[in-house]
Amino acid sequence: MAVTLESSHRYGRLSVFRVHGSPRDVGEQLGERFTKEAHRAVEIFKRELTWEPGGTMEGAKRYARKVLPRIETWYPDFLDEMRGYSKGSGVAFDVLAASWSGYSPSLGRKGCTDLAVGPEHTAGGSVLVAHNEDYSPPFEGNVVPVHVAVDGKPAFFAMSYGGLFPTIGFNDAGISLTGNAVSHNDSRVGIPKMFPPRRVLEARTLVEALEASMPEGRGSSFNNIVCSREGELYSMEGSATTFDAVYGEDGWLVHTNHYLSPKMWKFETNLHTKFCSIMRYNRARRLLKPFLGRVTPETIMAIQRDHVGEPDSICRHENPANGEADKTKTLFGSVINLTTGEVWVSGSTPCSTEYRTYRLGG
């Protein structure tokens, strides 16, 4: 199969922290390496708590104690990894769990832009999966590239919050995980949305990955985009209690932060907060369509730099009109080539920083 190997020669190499071992060992090494990021995430979480009426760290710890048994049942390995991370970073386990339990689910007007393009539409016959990570500006630099190989599981590359919680990634079994925040009105006590993405990256098959993306007993959910190197593209639009599997039946898909499936419309918390999402969705589709059949990583990078609707554009910049809880910017842009095992990641906003590349098997 023809591939786009030539693309990688134009880019500098992305510096990636590589780790392998048991879940506990992996967690401890990640915690030691990303101690600064781990403590910074706690400080950001404390700040976020002040945005929630009645939000306190004690309340978050209580909430975490309710959901931890559910995580333990569904995904005990990762709790071991978190315990290792706690030891390595020096962040107390109950604080770490509280920070990532979903106690403070406020999305505000934040949200990302994703594309996926199958082999029938790319110049080199590769599967390309792309994501702009749009989130709170204080997280700039706190989402780091890691290559993780837990004993007995597929190795994966991810951009992870504090090195621990992936927001995008792909593994050497040819499965990718990207996705978008959605705002559903059926949140409940259950498996927090930050955990399924990590488990998708341990999947060996597409069916395992789809199942891992939507565990029963969720408390909240992202729209988890799960793709395979065969060009199977799924946008798993989840809420807490149900989901719809939106399939890229034309060989490509775009997703932002509102539900596309009519089945999911009744779970949308407030469509009136989704104008930015609607604009980015339509804009990305319009920019991509003329290139179908000849899409390259550079085609997608150009879309990720787009400024129509600035500052609430695909390449997002802080909007001074937004309150602190709604402030957002693109922390990085990324393009995964699932066929060649390469990824390109920009240092910050795609318009202002270079993309660097990494090969999972290299």
Identity of the residue, 295 or 331, whose beta carbon is nearer to Zn ion in the bound complex: 331
Tell me the closest approach of the beta carbon of residue 317 to Zn ion, in angstroms.
6
Report CA-CA distances (Å) from 157 to 136, 213, 344.
Answer: 23, 17, 11
Tell me the closest approach of the beta carbon of residue 305 to Zn ion, in angstroms.
6
Identity of the residue, 44 or 351, whose beta carbon is nearer to Zn ion in the bound complex: 351
For residues 184 and 270, give the distance between their C-alpha atoms in angstroms, rounded to a whole number: 9
Tell me the closest approach of the beta carbon of residue 114 to Zn ion, in angstroms.
17
Identity of the residue, 274 or 329, whose beta carbon is nearer to Zn ion in the bound complex: 329
Identity of the residue, 113 or 349, whose beta carbon is nearer to Zn ion in the bound complex: 349
CB-closest chain residue to Zn ion: 351
Tell me the closest approach of the beta carbon of residue 51 to Zn ion, in angstroms.
26
Identity of the residue, 320 or 361, whose beta carbon is nearer to Zn ion in the bound complex: 320
Identity of the residue, 130 or 315, whose beta carbon is nearer to Zn ion in the bound complex: 315
Tell me the closest approach of the beta carbon of residue 316 to Zn ion, in angstroms.
7
Tell me the closest approach of the beta carbon of residue 72 to Zn ion, in angstroms.
42
State the CB neighbour count (10 A cutoff) for residue 50: 11
Identity of the residue, 149 or 351, whose beta carbon is nearer to Zn ion in the bound complex: 351
Secondary structure of the chain as H, E, C letters? CCCCHHHHHHCEECCCEEEEECHHHHHHHHHHHCHHHHHHHHHHHHHHHCCCCCCCHHHHHHHHHHHHHHHHHHCHHHHHHHHHHHHHHCCCHHHHHHHCCCCCCCCCCCCCEEEEECHHHECCCCCEEEEEEEECHHHCCCEEEEEEEECCCCCEEEEEECCCEEEEEEECCCEEEEEEECCECCCCCCECCCHHHHHHCCCCCHHHHHHHHCCCCECCCEEEEEEECCCCEEEEEECCCCEEEEECCCCEEEECCCCCCHHHHHHECCHHHCHHHHHHHHHHHHHHHHHCCCECHHHHHHHHCCCCCCCCCCCCCCCCCCCHHHCCEEEEEEEEECCCCEEEEECCCCCCCCEEEEECCC
Tell me the closest approach of the beta carbon of residue 143 to Zn ion, in angstroms.
17
Identity of the residue, 57 or 308, whose beta carbon is nearer to Zn ion in the bound complex: 308
Interacting residues toward Zn ion by CB under 5 A:
315, 349, 351
Identity of the residue, 150 or 315, whose beta carbon is nearer to Zn ion in the bound complex: 315
Tell me the closest approach of the beta carbon of residue 298 to Zn ion, in angstroms.
16
Tell me the closest approach of the beta carbon of residue 260 to Zn ion, in angstroms.
25
